[in-house]
């Protein structure tokens, strides 16, 4: 069942700085003026990276049929990778009338028999919430019968947006999995990585560095994650929230229940990556480790500088405008600055108060209405490149400046030190490409 | 060759897309239209993302954003009227295409009533498209039926006003923008005045406009739809839209209805042109058509060496699976079709056909050479070292999807050559 009280609590998260001045991301969506995904999608984003678990969507087709195999979250799991697979109970008219519990139970049995997963997450959707299927009971019974965790996730789309759905998914994991398995030994410098989904392998850019310093990743939620590891997450010494505020409630609750403190970091760009490593190491307060971290940071930064050298000349004196949402409004700006680009302006139209405060430290001009402002700023500041969503392509073509679609699903990682080189390659390719001056050219019969 | 067996309790790696998604595409084929999905915000968001990636172009769509409160206490009037208010504050659509989802149908909302309440504010066509029934093809077809019923003006005296040279072309959802354009051009060669409903040929054909609009960027105009009633000939392509043609004839009893299950392959095209010639009383089609038929004859012979020995799985929407499997069958290919949803066309297949998902595809694939299907076939083809050719929705692997041309003599040549040339490339 949907837990109304929990949803209310999640929306009033005390650890959220914007809570006094409530932002639209936590409000009810406006009919006819809403874009962006629903709570179910948020839950899917947060949990699908567990590749050793099957993700069963209890609902009709649109929820999963349109969205399976779309997220480029990578895993090193050697068994069958369930992340890109789609399991759906395909609720039909008959189930709406007579209830879908039986079909759900049969589907779970079908999956356990053929796939032998480590766990099954069962996602409630709007329709199965409306018809009042007793998903909790069905999952509990199946869990007893098959001896694996079968975790109901109560985030039907209509309860809110993606952010809330991710929170609800975090709650489901916290209640059903965390603390249900004890490890053989407890690592003194064990951390949980929360909120990095390893899209395009982002995590693999920095986890090896942390390991070299002597830090061990106990569990993740949920990039390259394993069910058995998240069950042991309560034995970590520190929670590290990576660039995602949606799971802050989970971290606060883990602090209350298991006495695990948390730090919030970003691994975008050179400076932020180095600072992220420092924040994690400092949280342990081990002097020796801090020194070792500084040595490794210096090494990595030097290596990166050497690799960026070929691009420095091309990127020198280049000016950019960034028009994107959320934490990207500052994290990408910071990364761009690290490869030597001057970021003249960034959009804060879709950023939280917290993001705006950070963005202010990085970028001189904050655009509130980028659609109106960016064209003018391109002229005034002699901008070379616009990094924005597809909608702004027309502005770039009209102004004949290079364009990078930052909202499109990225194909390579821009994360940590290694990813910066990928960013430099992509920006250089856009700057050098004649297409932006050519494609918008007038036809011979137009003036 | 019907072999439609009972389905397992769940879909594993679904092939099926939903009715509201078909409705979305149908309304995108109408000029200055805003598709409005009556459901939770995610229903519209998933649809928008899928089609944006598929077409590489912006997709206009809005949602009534049902939430946990309006799901219970609103009968639809509130969220629909607020949605219309918010939409019309920013843009002025010529039409809003309002269609339901599983959520709003489970609630049992009265969308007809809600539309009537708003009729002075905004022109609306309403359609029931729950996603727990039907699929992409039926969602498209139901929308076309809704448009015919609710928008086309009734003729006062059909026998006097019926225009025998005016054609209403109703394509099925699988036809690409350019395919619709090519069929229109073919009919124009027969001196017909042609209107396609819906018309994706200039809305989702991937053209660079002056700016990105918030509404559909092309298509048939609402004014033109209203006046379609006097069309003397209605042509439906694909079994999923056959009923639309019949419905039109109920409105205009003087109209002739020509139905074609497919326009791919020699026999299907011969049937098409044969009936047009009869219709017009001509003895021969224009010379370019005669020339393309000869080319297709040659291609049939050239490709039969490779295709005649090929074992191919096609997993797609029923109408498209039928069209392609029949065309490949003409050169002796051994085809097994897996279709996304139940359809009348399944009885017409000349090859094996079943309703299924990608788990079923995976079971069969080892003993086949190639798979023709959507983007999800990529991973399987790679895993089993098979040839893959992308057709259907979604296709995130290819660019220029709107430009694909696989109908009539000319397009059939391209299809056969493409399959023959791709086979063996793993």
End residue of a domain, out of B86, B118, B134: B134
CA distance B125 to B38: 13
Same domain flag for B365 and B262: no
CA distance A371 to A375: 8
CA distance A154 to B170: 42
End residue of a domain, out of B94, B119, B134: B134
Q: What is the CATH number of domain A190-301?
A: 3.40.50.1980
Q: Is the ipTM above a cut-off of 0.90?
A: yes
CA distance B412 to B262: 11
Q: How confident is the model at residue A14 (pLDDT cuts 50, 70, 90)?
A: low
CA distance A30 to chain B (A): 6
Same domain flag for B359 and B271: no
Instruction: Note the pTM of the prediction, 2 decimals.
Output: 0.94
| B67, two tokens | 């939430």
CATH number at residue B207: 3.40.50.1980
Lowest mean pLDDT among A16-20, A310-314, B267-271: A16-20
Provide the 10 A C-beta neighbour count for residue B367.
Answer: 9
Regarding predicted confidence, which is higher, B103 or A5? B103
What local confidence, expressed as pLDDT, does residue A11 receive? 82
Same domain flag for B304 and B414: yes
* Interhelix angle B408-422/B287-307, nearest 10 degrees: 20
Same domain flag for B308 and B409: yes
**Any chain B CB within 8 A of the CB of A409?**
yes
Contacts of A99 in chain B (CB under 8 A): none
DSSP strands (E only) in A182-316: 190-194, 216-221, 238-242, 262-265
**Any chain B CB within 8 A of the CB of A126?**
yes
Arithmetic mean of pLDDT, B173-179? 98
Residue A373 has pLDDT above 70, yes or no: yes
HSE (side-chain half, CA atoms, 13 Å) at B155: 21
CA distance B294 to A30: 58
What's the fold here for domain A4-176?
A: Rossmann fold (3.40.50)
Residue A24 has pLDDT above 50, yes or no: no
A309-362 confidence digits (pLDDT tens)? 999 999 999 999 999 988 889 999 999 999 999 999 999 988 888 889 999 999
Same domain flag for B277 and B296: no
What local confidence, expressed as pLDDT, does residue B152 receive? 96
Provide the 10 A C-beta neighbour count for residue A342.
Answer: 17
Same domain flag for B122 and B201: no
Pick the CATH number of A309-438 from 2.40.110.10, 3.40.190.10, 3.40.50.12380, 3.40.50.12280: 3.40.50.12380
For B59, the domain range is: 19-134
Same domain flag for B293 and B418: yes
B224 located within any domain: yes
Q: How confident is the model at residue A9 (pLDDT cuts 50, 70, 90)?
A: confident
| A289, two tokens | 């480790």
What local confidence, expressed as pLDDT, does residue A27 receive? 66
Q: Under 8 Å CB-to-CB from A58, ≥6 apart: which residues? A: A89, A91, A100, A104, A107, A122, A123, A124, A125, A128, A133, A135
Nearest Cα neighbor of A162 from A264, A75, A245, A241 is A245
| B40, two tokens | 């939770």
What local confidence, expressed as pLDDT, does residue A419 receive? 93
**Any chain B CB within 8 A of the CB of A14?**
no
Where residue A363 falls (left for φ over 0; alpha for ψ -120 to 50; beta otherwise) is beta
Cα maximum dimension of chain B: 65
Q: How confident is the model at residue B3 (pLDDT cuts 50, 70, 90)?
A: very low
B36 located within any domain: yes
Same domain flag for B61 and B32: yes
CA distance A29 to A33: 8
What local confidence, expressed as pLDDT, does residue B104 receive? 94
CA distance A97 to chain B (A): 9
**Residue the block writes with tokens 């691009």:** A311
Residue of B nearest to A7 (CA): B68
Residue A50 near residue A226, CB atoms below 8 Å: yes
> In angstroms, how far is the first alpha carbon of chain B from the final one?
30
- Say yes or no for a CB contact (<8 Å) between B21 and A110: no
CB nearest B8 (choices: A60, A110, A158): A110
**Which DSSP state fits A26?**
G
Please give the mean pLDDT across all residues of chain A. 92
Same domain flag for B162 and B262: yes
Residue A367 near residue A386, CB atoms below 8 Å: no
CA distance B213 to A143: 50
CA distance B8 to B21: 24
- Distances from the Cα of A246 to the Cαs of A185, A204, A240, A264, in angstroms? 30, 22, 13, 12
B372 located within any domain: yes
| A174, two tokens | 């916290």
CB nearest A92 (choices: B63, B86, B132): B132
Interface test with B, best of A39, A62, A82, A131 (most B CBs within 10 A): A62
Interface test with A, best of B7, B10, B50, B378 (most A CBs within 10 A): B10
| A43, two tokens | 């839950």
A410-434 confidence digits (pLDDT tens)? 788 998 999 999 999 999 999 999 9
Surface-to-core class of residue B157, CB atoms within 10 Å of its CB (0-12 exposed, 13-18 middle, 19+ buried): exposed
Helices (H), B133-217: 136-151, 158-161, 177-188
Q: What are phi and psi of A85, to 5 degrees?
A: -95, 155
Same domain flag for B167 and B58: no
CB nearest B10 (choices: A40, A110, A409): A110
CA distance A336 to A430: 14
CA distance A286 to A299: 20
Could you tell me which residues are beta bridge partners of residue A74? none
B10 located within any domain: no
Q: Under 8 Å CB-to-CB from B35, ≥6 apart: which residues? A: B23, B24, B27, B28, B60, B61, B62, B96, B97, B99, B216
What stretch(es) of chain A map to CATH 3.40.50.1980?
A: 4-176, 190-301
B141 located within any domain: no
Same domain flag for B311 and B350: yes
Same domain flag for B349 and B418: yes
Residue B160 has pLDDT above 60, yes or no: yes
CA distance B116 to chain A (A): 18
Instruction: Count structural domains, chain B.
Output: 3
Residue of A nearest to B51 (CA): A66
Could you tell me which residues are beta bridge partners of residue B371? B313, B388
B9 located within any domain: no
B149 located within any domain: no
**Any chain B CB within 8 A of the CB of A34?**
yes
Q: How confident is the model at residue A35 (pLDDT cuts 50, 70, 90)?
A: confident
B85 located within any domain: yes
- For chain A, what percent of residues have pLDDT higher than 70? 97
End residue of a domain, out of B83, B100, B134: B134
């Amino acid at each position: 069942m949907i837990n109304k009280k929990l949803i209310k609590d999640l929306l009033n998260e005390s650890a959220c700085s914007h809570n006094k001045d409530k932002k639209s991301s936590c409000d009810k969506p406006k009919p006819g003026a809403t874009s962006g995904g629903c709570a179910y999608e948020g839950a899917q984003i947060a949990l699908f990276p567990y590749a050793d678990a099957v993700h069963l969507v209890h609902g009709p087709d649109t929820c999963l049929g349109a969205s399976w195999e779309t997220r480029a979250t990578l895993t090193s799991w050697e068994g069958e990778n369930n992340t890109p697979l789609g399991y759906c109970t395909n609720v039909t008219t008959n189930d709406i009338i007579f209830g879908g519990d039986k079909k759900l139970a049969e589907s779970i049995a079908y999956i356990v028999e053929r796939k032998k997963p480590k766990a099954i997450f069962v996602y409630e959707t709007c329709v199965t919430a409306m018809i009042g299927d007793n998903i909790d009971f069905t999952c509990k019974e199946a869990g007893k019968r098959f001896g694996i965790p079968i975790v109901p996730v109560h985030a039907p789309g209509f309860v809110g947006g993606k952010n809330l759905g991710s929170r609800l998914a975090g709650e489901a994991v916290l209640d059903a999995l965390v603390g249900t398995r004890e490890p053989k030994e407890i690592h003194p410098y064990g951390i949980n990585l929360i909120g990095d989904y390893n899209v395009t392998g982002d995590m693999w850019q920095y986890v090896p560095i942390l390991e070299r310093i002597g830090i061990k990743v106990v569990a993740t939620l949920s990039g390259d994650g394993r069910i058995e590891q998240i069950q042991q997450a309560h034995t970590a010494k520190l929670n590290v929230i990576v660039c995602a505020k949606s799971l802050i409630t989970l971290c606060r609750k883990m602090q209350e229940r298991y006495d695990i403190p948390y730090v919030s970091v970003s691994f975008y760009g050179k400076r932020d990556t180095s600072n992220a490593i420092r924040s994690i190491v400092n949280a342990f307060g081990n002097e020796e480790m801090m020194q070792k971290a500084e040595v490794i940071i210096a090494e990595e930064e030097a290596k990166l500088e050497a690799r960026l050298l070929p691009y420095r000349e091309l990127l020198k004196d280049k000016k950019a405008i960034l028009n994107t949402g959320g934490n990207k409004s500052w994290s990408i700006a910071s990364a761009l600055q690290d490869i030597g680009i001057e970021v003249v302006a960034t959009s804060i139209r879709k950023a939280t108060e917290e993001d705006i405060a950070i963005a202010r430290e990085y970028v001189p001009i904050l655009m509130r209405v980028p659609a109106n402002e960016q064209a003018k700023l391109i002229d005034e500041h002699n901008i070379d490149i616009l990094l924005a969503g597809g909608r702004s392509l027309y502005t770039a073509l009209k102004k004949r400046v290079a364009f990078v679609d930052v909202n499109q699903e990225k194909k390579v990682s821009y994360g940590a030190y290694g990813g910066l080189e990928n960013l430099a390659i992509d920006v250089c390719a856009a700057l050098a490409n004649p297409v932006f001056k050519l494609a918008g050219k007038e036809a011979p019969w137009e003036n | 060759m019907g072999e439609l067996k009972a389905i397992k309790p769940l879909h594993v790696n679904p092939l099926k897309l939903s009715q509201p998604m078909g409705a979305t595409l149908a309304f995108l084929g109408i000029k200055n239209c805003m598709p409005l999905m009556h459901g939770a915000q995610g229903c519209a968001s998933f649809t928008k993302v899928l089609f944006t990636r598929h077409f590489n172009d912006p997709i206009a769509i809005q949602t009534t954003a049902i939430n946990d409160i309006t799901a219970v206490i609103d009968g639809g009037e509130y969220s629909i009227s607020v949605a219309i208010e918010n939409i019309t504050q920013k843009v002025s659509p010529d039409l809003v295409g309002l269609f339901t989802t599983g959520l709003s149908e489970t609630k049992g909302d009265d969308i007809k009533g809600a539309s009537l309440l708003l009729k002075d504010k905004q022109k609306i066509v309403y359609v029931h498209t729950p996603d727990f029934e039907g699929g992409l093809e039926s969602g498209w077809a139901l929308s076309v039926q809704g448009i015919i019923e609710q928008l086309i003006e009734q003729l006062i005296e059909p026998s006097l006003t019926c225009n025998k040279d005016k054609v209403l072309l109703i394509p099925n959802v699988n036809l690409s923008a350019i395919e619709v354009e090519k069929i229109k051009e073919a009919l124009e060669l027969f001196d017909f005045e042609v209107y396609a409903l819906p018309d994706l040929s200039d809305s989702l054909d991937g053209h660079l406009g002056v700016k990105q609009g918030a509404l559909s960027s092309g298509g048939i105009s609402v004014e033109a739809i209203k006046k379609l009633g006097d069309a003397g000939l209605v042509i439906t392509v694909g079994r999923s839209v056959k009923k639309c043609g019949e419905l039109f004839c109920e409105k205009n009893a003087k109209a002739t209805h020509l139905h074609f299950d497919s326009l791919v392959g020699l026999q299907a095209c011969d049937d098409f042109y044969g009936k047009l010639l009869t219709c017009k009383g001509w003895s021969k089609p224009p010379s370019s058509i005669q020339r393309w038929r000869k080319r297709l004859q040659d291609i049939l012979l050239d490709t039969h060496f490779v295709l005649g020995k090929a074992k191919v799985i096609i997993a797609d929407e029923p109408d498209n699976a039928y069209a392609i499997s029949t065309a490949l069958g003409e050169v002796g290919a051994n085809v097994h079709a897996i279709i996304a949803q139940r359809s009348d066309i399944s009885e017409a297949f000349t090859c094996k056909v079943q309703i299924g998902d990608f788990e079923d595809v995976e079971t069969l694939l080892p003993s086949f050479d190639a798979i023709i299907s959507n983007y999800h076939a990529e991973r399987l083809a790679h895993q089993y070292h098979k040839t893959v050719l992308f057709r259907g929705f979604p296709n995130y692997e290819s660019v220029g999807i709107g430009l694909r041309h696989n109908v009539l003599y000319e397009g059939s040549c391209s299809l056969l050559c493409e399959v023959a040339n791709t086979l063996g490339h793993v």
